[in-house]
């Protein structure tokens, strides 16, 4: 048994310590917002926060989250009030939408430590998140808008 703190709630799981966090979230806890993309930590679709830092849930074992706080896309806000969620809606960012939970998690981690990121900051923070639809200009605009909403500019 391993106990994980996810989105502020404690969950005891009967999981192999080497099980990727992604599968614990999706299969054991039925939190489906975190997506499987490449399975190798390259595309960013599975991004969640571990103690506030973006990580790839497809390659990070549940044992790495023991005594830590995990936040998933469901944990940003239950009502869509997080600045990133608001900005994503305002800028109509998703096209197919598959990568967007990972994109939003990386963006929210960036804004947690940099309230007014410039283009280079955004490019660096988002470089590990791939969008097959190419919505990068809308993602950048939405991140800047989220910074405004949260008071960074």
Top CATH class of 2-72 equals alpha beta
What 8-state DSSP symbol labels residue 118? Answer: -
Give the residue, 61 or 152, on which the prediction is more confident. Answer: 61
In the chain, pLDDT over 90 holds for what percent of residues? 95
Q: What is the pLDDT of residues 49-89, one digit of tens each?
A: 999 999 999 999 999 999 999 999 999 998 999 999 999 99
Question: Mean pLDDT of all residues in the chain?
Answer: 95
State the pTM of this model: 0.95
- Angle among Cα 92, 93, 94 to the nearest 5 degrees reads 105
Instruction: Give the start-to-end residue ranges of the domains of the chain.
Output: 2-72, 83-149
Distance CA 149, CA 145 (A): 6
Q: Is the pLDDT of residue 18 over 80?
A: yes
Top CATH class of 83-149 equals mainly alpha
Q: Is the pLDDT of residue 153 over 90?
A: no
Distance CA 61, CA 39 (A): 12
């Amino acid at each position: 048994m391993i106990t994980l703190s996810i989105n502020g709630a404690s969950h005891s799981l009967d999981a192999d310590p080497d099980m990727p966090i992604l599968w614990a979230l999706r299969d054991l806890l039925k939190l489906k917002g975190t997506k499987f993309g490449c399975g190798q930590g390259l595309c960013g679709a599975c991004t969640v926060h571990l103690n506030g830092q973006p990580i790839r849930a497809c390659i990070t074992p549940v044992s790495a989250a023991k005594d830590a706080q995990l936040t998933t896309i469901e944990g940003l806000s239950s009502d869509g009030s997080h600045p990133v969620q608001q900005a994503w809606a305002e800028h109509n960012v998703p096209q197919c939408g598959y990568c967007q939970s990972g994109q939003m998690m990386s963006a929210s981690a960036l804004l947690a430590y940099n309230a007014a990121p410039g283009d280079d900051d955004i490019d660096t923070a988002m470089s590990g998140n791939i969008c097959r639809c190419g919505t990068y200009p809308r993602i950048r605009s939405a991140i800047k808008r989220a910074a405004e909403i949260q008071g960074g500019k």
